[in-house]
Every structure is written in C-alpha cells, then in structure tokens.
Amino acid sequence: MNTIGKPRRRVDARAKVTGQTRFADDIMLPRTLHCKLLRSTLPHARIARVDASRALAHPGVHLVLTGRDFPISYGILPVSQDEHALAIDRVRFVGDPVAAIIARDELTAFEALDLIDVEYEPLPTLSGPEDSLAHPEPRLHEYGDTGNIHKIVSLEFGDVEAALALADHVFEDTFFYQGNTHLPIEQHAAVAVKDPDGKLVLYSSTQTPHYVHRALARALAMPAAHIRVVATPNGGGFGGKSDPFNHEVVVCKAAMMLDRPVKICLTREEVFYCHRGRHPVLMQFTTGVRRDGSITGMHVKTLLDGGAYGSYGVASTFYTGALQTVTYHIPTYRFQGCRVFTNKPPCGPKRGHGTPQSRFGQEIQLDKIAEKLSIDPAELRLRIVEQPETLTANYLRVGTIGLAECIRRVTRAADWTNTFRKLPHGRGVGIACSSYLSGAGLPIYWNDMPHSGVQLKLDRSGGVTAFCGATEIGQGSDDVLVGCVAEVLGIDPLDIRAVTGDTDLTPVDLGSYSSRVTLMMGNAAIQAAERARDLLAAAVSNKLGVPKDRLVFADRRVFDTEQPSTGVSFAEAVCLAETMFGTLGTTGSYTPPRSAAKFKGGGVGPSPTYSYSAAIVEVSVDPSTGWIDVPRVWIAHDIGRSLNPTLVRGQVEGSVYMALGEALMEEQTFRRLPPRLSSALVHKFPSMLEYKSPTTLDMPEVITELVENPDPRGPFGAKEVGQGPLLPVMPAVANAVYDAIGVRIDEVPITPEKILKALDAKAAGKDPRFGPAHFPDIAWPDALQVPPPWEGGDGKAINENVRRAKSDARDRTSKSTGSEVVPS
Amino acid sequence: MQNHHIALTVNDEATEVAFAPYKTLLEVLREDLNLCGTKHGCELGECGACAVLLDGQPVLSCLVLGVECEGRSVTTVEGLARDGRLHPLQETFADLGAAQCGYCTPGFLVTAKALLDEHAHPTRDQIREALSGNLCRCTGYQQIFEAVEKAIGDRSPERLALRESPDGASLSNEHARSAGLSGERHQ
C-alpha cells in the first residue's frame, strides 16, 4: 500500500491552515439580506396573537414571517414530524422560534425583533421526566406513545428473571448521566439563494444535506429536484448539525419570496437553544453474575429527558439499550426505555448517540462486580469479551473484535498491575471499555437503496475527480474519499479533486452521522475506483500486450509487474482508456448487509461492524477540596485498519478530550426564574464562558494505541474511530476516582462538590457514594419476547401480533371513553 | 449612521476602510475587507476563534472596535504566508493533524505565531498557557502542541535555509512522511 496506513497531510489541510476553507458564514453574495429569529421567552405557552406591523414598518425590514407561513411540519425521523419552522400556535421551550425578520443588515433585523408584539398565554411546564410522567396532560404533542411519553419500549431476549435466579450475585445500580451539548466552535449558519433559473439553493453548515434536502421539499412543498442543498464544511458538528433546522427552512422560504440571497448566522446563545445534544438519562442496571464473573443476564432500564421535540429521540431511546451485548457476552437481556417530552431545547444525537449514558452505568457496575468478586477489573472484562463473528442475544451481528487486545495494550502501557489499588490515597486508576457502530445498518427512512454513492470522472488531462454526498465536518471525509481512490489507482491523494456534500452535483450519501462515512463511502469509493482501474487496465493491456492481471497501478504509473520498466504514465493510461471506451466515468455504491433482527425496534443497533476501545484514566483527587486532576489517559482503539494514522489519532484524542469535558464539567442544565420573572424554565448558562469545556490547561497527556486487525467488511479493513473512543473515558474516570479515594460517583459530571458530598457520606458511615437513589416506577408495556439465537430464535418476536392486538384494543377503548391512555 | 473612515496596515499592506462606527474589528475584517479567514464562535470574547495580531500582540477581534485601529497594524491568517510560502506553523499544523474542522485554526495560528515571535523555544507549558484562550472542540489540543513544537524546530536557521531552497518548500506528502507519526516524537 502506498497511501493507506501512512501518516499524511490531509488533502484539505492547506485550505484549513490558510483560512480559505469556506464555511457557511463566509459566503458573501451581492444583495444579501439578513435574517434573525424571534424566539420564545416562555417555556410553554399558547400564542394568542403575533403582531408584526411595527416591525414591518421599520426602515430596512423586507419581510416578516410567522408560523402561518409554514403550515407543514417536518422532522428528522419519519415517526417524529413534529417541528414547524416557526411556531404556529404554541411554543414549547425558551428559544422556540416564533417569527423571523429579514432585513438589509443584521443590526436592523435585531432591532426589528423588538418591534414584534407577541401575546402569550402561559401553559404548565414540564421541567424533567418526573414532571412528565406525573402529568400526562396537557400533552406537549398530539402524538407519541401516551401522555407526555414520546416513546416507551420493552424488549426481552430470553428469560432474564430465570437467569438472575441462577446467578451467584445480582447487582442493582442506579446511575444518572447529565445532558450536555456539542459546542461546535462554528455557530450554525445558512445562506439561501434563488438560482437564476428559479430553483432554490441552500448553503448550510449541516452534517446531513440529504435529509435537509428531503425536509425542505416537504416543509416548503417544493419538488426535491428543484432544491439544491450544499453542505459547507462544518466548523465542528459532533451530531449538533444533523437535524433539519428552523433557520434553514426560514431562509429558504424568504429567499424564494424575495428573490435575493438571505443569510442567517445564529448567535452562540441560539446554538445552545438548537441543542439536539446528549439526553439526560436516569438508568438502572440489574445484572446477574457467576463467581467467575460471567454474566447470566442483564436488565437495563433507561429514562430519557427528551426536551420539547422528537428529533432523533426514538433512535436515541433504543440506542441506550442496544450495544451492551456487543461488548460482553450477555446470554439473556431485557431492555426497557422511556423518553419523555419536557419544556427544554430538544435533545438528540451527540457523539456516541444514546450509548455513552448506558456505557457509563455498565462499566461502573462492572467495576463494582469485579471488586465484590475479587477479580481484577481488567481481567474480568477479558473473561467476558463477546466472541467475534457472532450474533448477540439481541440479534446484532458482530464482526471482528479487537477488544481483548485493546485491554492488553492499555494495561501494559499504563503498568496496570503495579498501579491499580496500589497508588497512594488520593491517586487512582480506572479502566473501562466500549464498542460502537461503524455506521447505522438502516437509513433514517427505510428503503433498499445504497447508503453511499461515489462517482469518478477521469479525463485525458490525467485528472480524477471524486464526487460523493459525504460531508466534511472536520473528521477528514474528503481525505478518506481521495485516499481510497488514490490507493486503488496508484496516484497521490493530492492528484484527486474531491467534490462533496452537494445534492445537485454528488450522488447521495446519507450524511456524517453514526460513524458511517469511512466504512460506507470508503467501500463505495473503492468500488468506483476498481471499476475505473479495470477500464484503464484493459486499455493499457491492449496497448502494451501485457495481460491485465499482470498490470500494477502505483507511483502514478501503470506497469507490468514482471517487467516494471514496461508501462505508461497514469495520465497516458487515462488517454488510452478514453480512446477505447469513450468518456470515462464510473460509480460505486454501498448498501449495508441486511440486519438479522426482525422485531420492532431491531432497526437500531445493527451495523456492518463494530469498533472497540479500552481506556485507563489516572486521576488525583484532593480530599479536602474535591478537586480532580487527570494527568494521563491511555486509550487503545480497535480501528480495523488505520487509513491515515494522523487523522485516526486526532479522532481518538479528540474523543478523549470531549469525554473528559462530559466526565468532569460539561452540563446543559436549566433553572426556574423567580415567580416575579414568570417562573420560566431557562437555560442556566447559554454562553461559552459559563458552559465549561476543557482548555489547553485542562487537557492531560493521552497515550494512544491503535489496534489493527483489518475487518473484511471495512474499506481496506477500516472501522470507525470518530465516536467509539469517547465512550470508555467517562466511566474510567469514575472508576479511577473510586480507586483514588474510595467513593463512587454514579453520575456525570463528576464535580468537586459531588466528591465532597460522597466523602461526607463515607465519613458519616453512610453509603460512600453520590448518585441517584432510585429509578421511578414506570408502567412499562408488555415486553416483546425475542428468543436469542441459542434458544432457537429467528430474530422475530414471538408475541408481536398478540401485543399489537392488545394495543389496538386499548386504543379503541380509550377513544370511545376519551380516557387517558395508560400503557399496560 | 455615518461611516467611519480609517487608515491602517493589514497584513503589511496600507489599507483604508469605511464602516459603521459600531463595528468590531472582526466585522470590519470579514465584512468590509473580505478577509473571512478570521472566524467567530461567540462574539463575546469566550472562544478565541477571532484572534488576530494587533501591533504584533494577539487580541480578540470581536472585543476590539474598528475605530480603535486607526494607524495600527493587523495581522490575520491571510498574512501568515510569505512570498507564496506557508508560515512554518501552517506547514506543521497541516502535516500533523492540528487542524481538523479548521474553524478555530486561524485563531490558534496567529496566537502561536505571537508566542514564537516572543519566545524562540517555548516549553510545552508555555505553549499551553499561550493557547489557553483558544478553544478547540476537535483535536484535544495534543496535535496542536506538537505542531507548535515542530514549528520551533522548523524555524531553526538550517531548516529555514532548507525551506528557502527550491526543493524545500514542497506541498507534497513527502513533508508529512519525513515528519513521521508525530506521536512517536513526543511520547
């Protein structure tokens, strides 16, 4: 291999270090008008009246839009089409957009916001899951499973009760994971333009141009073929730019009405309101183990605070229960998850989507289990690592597993056996592991079309252009695209031009989410490049009289492997092929294998293959102040194969960084204003100064180990790296704190205050821990019963029809009596 | 509102510009001088993305009014490269993965340049301190530290001489390959 596996300057690096990368807000077009959104000041209210007449009369204001201009709802998931670009009759959180001003400049638009008169009639607010469960009425939305429960699910794979009865020990632990937000340094921005031919173009900092394209067609009732969405390189995404957003729909409508470019750039405060970040999750793990540490069964319950809209929430809910089985062998498994609506900015996917929360609980509980069984926690994990090439209890098909090697590598690097439980009081080490998808196995809207497409254009200049809908969000997707093509064609990555993230010019790629791009786009790129190589090889073979299978593509040449001096330059090979075949263009596409899960809810979790990580974190804790310092993190990641080690290492270290922020300081929390100020539920600190994130002074030394065991399902064997390495870090911090000072902090962020409270509890002879005391009673529906593969199951639920009949009967009853729907 | 007119030096070029007097230096650079390399992440002095050099000192351009810049010298990311050659920091940032999304990068580059202009051989701790006002959400900072440290080496007289030679200033991957996997140098 000439390109793959070698540390390289990424192909878009020069643009980035010279400030020439054009982000959405850098697009400056003549005659641009500027848009600002008026956002709700109340967390829940009926809009009695919106009067924009004073704003419209303000000099420089061109247009005012309100909810009535956007009658059609949209949303990222087909089952949650619950958003309007501007609120029609109700606002559901402080920051919910109510009206839009389009004016000659930003200042004028800002000024005019104050001239819109909105009359609100306040409604009762739901501040958290307990509120939402206790108050099914009034409902925040007219859809969802029941009351203010958006989604409630219950799945059982084998007889968990019987398995727990067989266990030598049963552990029950409750954990809380606080919500936090992506905080990309780039604020969301968008520019909409009516093309000279009357079609709509949107430039936007989005991770998912394809889904935005679909949402715009729906919300604006326009043919999708008349809409072009260009994803500008994102100044960081982390999941926060994966939904279609209000401001995108608004500027599109305005540009079409005014026939002038319309631009919006959100303020930092507004970015906090867009959110779609980490769900706060309360969870309970009940796990049965034998004396040797093997797990007999596990029951996981999660309660998610979803905020005011659906977003990806249904998927997030399932993800809190999906991947436990992918890491360790769990023969029987029950998952119950519940997502509620509250009057806060909507939660959604943040790096790790739904899995970091339950990973936190699972890995701390394993630490507790190891201690109780007197087994070293690294050794315990080695004993229970899931088998490769297997089907889990919940029908996830696992490929290669490098987790055992990850554990061995980090324990060796960190000198684990000489440090764990051996450091002086106040210093400690903790270990945790994880796994993550290399791309979601199913698209957001179900269909059998490819998830990623790549087109190549080659012409007589010797130039190659690679087209793909994938979106560069900093992860290096353009580099992966050209790297794969360059390797197959034997040219330099910098010889290739990448055209990406443009729904007019590039074939569909579903977007930069679920760690799917490297695997899916990479496979599509290899297929397209191999097809191009076949054409070139045929033409060169014809010219040189050398059999095709003896031709090698390397060093910008095509030559005879037996006589390397016999050959042509790559450019000449393209000319020969263009002469022989006419205009050259090839395509490649990638569709993931079919999932083995056939039950309802089985669509979340399947992936072509899974990555694995193990982390050891060292902490020192000052028992008098509770202050936590993290001097070092060792992390090993099963990458399959590292396509460009410079970028892979960047993803690992960036994940560790973001994880430490979540573990130690970051939280998106809310408070009530005093009654004289409306009792509104407001964001505690929608600013970067108060929302603490790690700086250069906080970042520890990170020792990264890459475990390379190529997975045949990945491009050149590669798996994901963008999200997985975040997951083990938070629980490893918690486990290290326990090693250091003997108290359990069963929630994040792990702050000095919580440490002091736990130390106080310990000193008073109470449970030496800080964390949630209990998990509330929830009326779970009857579980879907899916026998695991080793019990003769076929991936289908054995009671799905029974359950559906019961649910239909219940719906009929509730409709006829008008009573509240209570899940059985 | 009447526009305010100033004369200043931007990236070593004498420049005149007229703008609404309430505008920050950030807005003047981006909107009136079309220098969009300087970014913004908060416009409240919290993130460091808008850092530029004002008379050689790093400042947050979102906290400086344009009207304060009469007669002063501003350096932005667009002014780092000289004679068609990237600044050593730009080369090492590109080679060693110090720019991921690239949005905070201009702010880091000018801040690091100010550090290297002041200290020929800063320690890792001095680098951390100097860059502590710049937030990056992608990298975890480690590759940024390494890029700054490598640029120190690249600024040594013999390396600069090499760079001046026709072969030295190469944009190809050879540079990255010769740099090696940065982690091995520093762990």
Residues A169-181 have pLDDT tens digits of 999 999 999 999 9
Q: Are A216 and A229 in contact (CB under 8 A)?
A: yes
- With residues binned 3-state (H G I as helix, E B as strand, rest as coil), the percentages for chain A, rounded to 5, are 30, 25, 45
* Chain B residues closer than 8 Å to A7 by CB: 176-177, 179-182
Which one of B101, B132, B138 has the shortest CB-CB distance to A696? Answer: B132
* Chain B residues closer than 8 Å to A697 by CB: 128-129, 132
Q: Are A106 and A93 in contact (CB under 8 A)?
A: no
The CATH homologous superfamily of the domain defined by B4-79 = Beta-grasp domain (3.10.20.30)
d(CA A375, CA A537): 58
The reported pLDDT for the residue numbered B161 is: 52
For chain A, the distance separating the N- and C-terminal CA atoms, rounded to the nearest angstrom, is 59
Q: Phi first, then psi: what are they for A476, rounded to 5°?
A: 100, 30
Cβ <8 Å between A688 and B47: yes
Q: Are B146 and B96 in contact (CB under 8 A)?
A: yes
With a cut of 90, say whether residue A92 has pLDDT above it. Answer: yes
Q: How far is CA A115 from CA A4, A52, A105, A106, in A?
A: 58, 7, 16, 15
The reported pLDDT for the residue numbered A810 is: 55
Task: Determine which of A428-442, A633-647, B156-170 has the lowest per-residue pLDDT on average.
Answer: B156-170
Cβ <8 Å between A268 and B43: yes
Single out the residue of A655, A6, A704, A635 nearest to residue B187, CA to CA: A704
Domain boundaries, chain A: 24-123+185-236+241-274, 149-181+277-441+599-770, 457-541+566-590, 784-817
CA angle centred on A620, ends A617 and A626, rounded to 5°: 120
- A707 - beta bridge partners? A638
Tokens linked to A160: 């968990």
Single out the residue of A43, A229, A231 nearest to residue A132, CA to CA: A43
Which residues are within 8 A (CB) of A676 and not within 5 positions of it... i.e. 6 or more apart?
none
For chain A, percent of residues with pLDDT exceeding 90? 95
The reported pLDDT for the residue numbered B158 is: 55
Chain A interface test: which of B1, B138, B172 (most A C-beta within 10 Å): B138
| DSSP symbols for A383-449 | HHBPPSSEE-TT--EE----HHHHHHHHHHHTTHHHHTTTSPTTEEEEEEEEEEESS-SS-SS--SS
- With residues binned 3-state (H G I as helix, E B as strand, rest as coil), the percentages for chain B, rounded to 5, are 45, 15, 40
Tokens linked to A109: 């638009």
Q: Which helix (H) or strand (E) holds B43?
A: none
DSSP state of B85: B
The reported pLDDT for the residue numbered B156 is: 63
Q: How many residues does chain B have?
A: 187
- A90 - beta bridge partners? A46
Tokens linked to B13: 């070029």
**Residue/partner pairs of A491-496 with CB below 8 Å, 24 or more apart:** A491/A464, A491/A553, A491/A556, A491/A570, A492/A3, A492/A556, A492/B172, A492/B173, A493/A3, A493/A8, A493/A11, A493/B173, A494/A11, A494/B171, A494/B172, A494/B173, A495/A462, A495/A463, A495/A464, A495/A556, A496/A11, A496/A464, A496/A465, A496/A466
d(CA A369, CA A387): 21
**pLDDT tens digits along A379-425:** 999 999 999 999 999 999 999 999 999 999 999 999 999 999 999 99
The reported pLDDT for the residue numbered B169 is: 37
The reported pLDDT for the residue numbered A820 is: 31
Which one of A20, A26, A654 has the shortest CB-CB distance to B138? Answer: A654
Q: How many Cβ atoms sit within 10 Å of the Cβ of residue A277?
A: 26
Q: Could you tell me which chain B residue has the CA closest to the CA of A186?
A: B41
Single out the residue of A724, A822, A824, A771 nearest to residue A284, CA to CA: A771
Cβ <8 Å between A12 and B102: yes
One digit per residue, the tens of pLDDT, for chain B of length 187 reads 799 999 999 999 999 999 999 999 999 999 999 999 999 999 999 999 999 999 999 999 999 999 999 999 999 999 999 999 999 999 999 999 999 999 999 999 999 999 999 999 999 999 999 999 999 999 999 999 999 999 998 776 555 555 444 443 333 333 433 333 333 333 3
Single out the residue of A382, A212, A179, A358 nearest to residue A286, CA to CA: A358
Same fold for the pair A24-123+185-236+241-274 and A457-541+566-590: no
The whole-chain average pLDDT of chain A stands at 96
Q: What is the mean pLDDT of residues A557-572?
A: 98
Per-residue burial over A238-263, b = 16 or more CB atoms within 10 Å of its CB, e = otherwise = bbbbbbbbbbbbbbbbbbbebebbbb
The reported pLDDT for the residue numbered B187 is: 32
- Domain A24-123+185-236+241-274 sits in CATH at 3.90.1170.50
d(CA A673, CA A737): 35
Q: Are A84 and A70 in contact (CB under 8 A)?
A: yes
* Chain A residues closer than 8 Å to B173 by CB: 8-9, 492-494
DSSP state of A778: -
Q: How big is chain B by its Cα radius of gyration, in Å?
A: 17
With a cut of 80, say whether residue A55 has pLDDT above it. Answer: yes
d(CA A607, CA A598): 14
Domain boundaries, chain B: 4-79, 88-181
CA angle centred on A333, ends A328 and A336, rounded to 5°: 120
Dihedral of the alpha carbons of A528, A534, A539, A542, in degrees to the nearest 10 = 180
* Chain B residues closer than 8 Å to A187 by CB: 40-42
Distance (Å) from the C-alpha of residue A353 to the closest C-alpha of chain B? 17
For chain A, percent of residues with pLDDT exceeding 70? 97
Q: Are B64 and B81 in contact (CB under 8 A)?
A: no
10 Å CB burial of residue A459 (0-12, 13-18, 19+) is middle
The reported pLDDT for the residue numbered A818 is: 34
- Helix locations, A42-151, DSSP H: 53-57, 106-113, 129-134
SS3 labels along A494-528: HHEEEEECECCCCCCECCCCCCCHHHHHHHHHHHH
Side chain identity at A145, as an amino acid letter?
A: D
Using N-to-C axis directions, what is the helix angle for A729-741 and A752-763, rounded to 10°?
Answer: 40
Distance (Å) from the C-alpha of residue B49 to the closest C-alpha of chain A? 8
Q: Which CATH class is domain B88-181?
A: mainly alpha
Per-residue burial over A115-137, b = 16 or more CB atoms within 10 Å of its CB, e = otherwise = bbebebeebebbbbbebbbeeee
CATH for A149-181+277-441+599-770 (3.30.365.10, 3.40.50.2000, 2.60.40.10, 3.40.50.620): 3.30.365.10
Size of interface A-B (CB pairs under 8 A): 203
Which one of A7, A107, A475 has the shortest CB-CB distance to B181? Answer: A7
Cis peptide before A138 (omega within 30 of 0): yes
Single out the residue of A461, A79, A95, A421 nearest to residue A247, CA to CA: A95
Single out the residue of B58, B36, B110 nearest to residue A235, CA to CA: B36
- Structural domain A457-541+566-590, CATH architecture: 2-Layer Sandwich (3.30)
- Count of alpha carbons within 13 Å of A575, Cβ hemisphere only? 10
Q: Are A176 and A360 in contact (CB under 8 A)?
A: no
Single out the residue of B58, B54, B38 nearest to residue B105, CA to CA: B38
Chain B interface test: which of A16, A17, A701 (most B C-beta within 10 Å): A17
Cβ <8 Å between B187 and A17: no
Report the relative pairing of strands A149-157 and A784-785 from DSSP bridges. parallel
Task: Determine which of A103-112, A201-210, A325-334, B172-181 has the lowest per-residue pLDDT on average.
Answer: B172-181
**pLDDT tens digits along A143-168:** 999 999 999 999 999 999 999 999 99
Q: How many Cβ atoms sit within 10 Å of the Cβ of residue B174?
A: 11
Q: Is the ipTM of this complex over 0.85?
A: yes
To which residue do tokens 């064609």 refer? A489
**Residue spans of beta strands (DSSP E) within A123-188:** 149-157, 169-177
Cβ <8 Å between A7 and B46: no
